[in-house]
Amino acid sequence: MAIRAEILAPHRLVIASLSGRVDTDSVRHVIIQLKSRADFLWNFDRIVFVDGSTDFSRLDMAELAAIKGAVAQAYFAGPDAASAERPYYRLALVCGSVMEGIIAKMFTMVLETDAVPMIDLKVCRSAAEALAWLGRDTLAAEDVLKIAGR
């Protein structure tokens, strides 16, 4: 599976891990999984772990825009989002190498094409940095890494 996601509802947080090939279909698949869960709310913050085993070979700017479109259609088209302030949630991308960081920065550029971005995204170098930025530093980085399968 390209994207594995766990929900920590008491912390209003989704922890996801990327592996294998990531494309629009894999993102749509995890969206369907999350939306089917009773303990998930669309505006939970997210922490996403990316490492060297992740295949971004199919990601170009058009594919990144398609991923943004899939996320927008799934989460931001309803009445809750219409009455909410932007950004709707924060997304911390934890990248282990320069290449993952470059892909993350490309996705940041796609998100920032909106006057007020839908998602506040930050590229982080560690779980601890991501948790601090998300305001979840009461969670132990080691525990979050275990949940993510890292």
pLDDT in tens, 122-147: 889 899 999 999 999 999 999 999 99
pLDDT in tens, 7-16: 999 999 999 9
pLDDT in tens, 52-102: 777 777 777 788 788 878 888 888 887 878 888 888 899 998 987 766 667
Q: Which two tokens stand for residue 70?
A: 């899939």
CATH architecture of residue range(s) 3-147: 2-Layer Sandwich (3.30)
Residue 16: how many CB atoms within 10 A of its CB?
Answer: 20
Domain ranges of the chain: 3-147
Contact 85, 52 (CB under 8 A): no
Give me the pLDDT at residue 43, please.
93
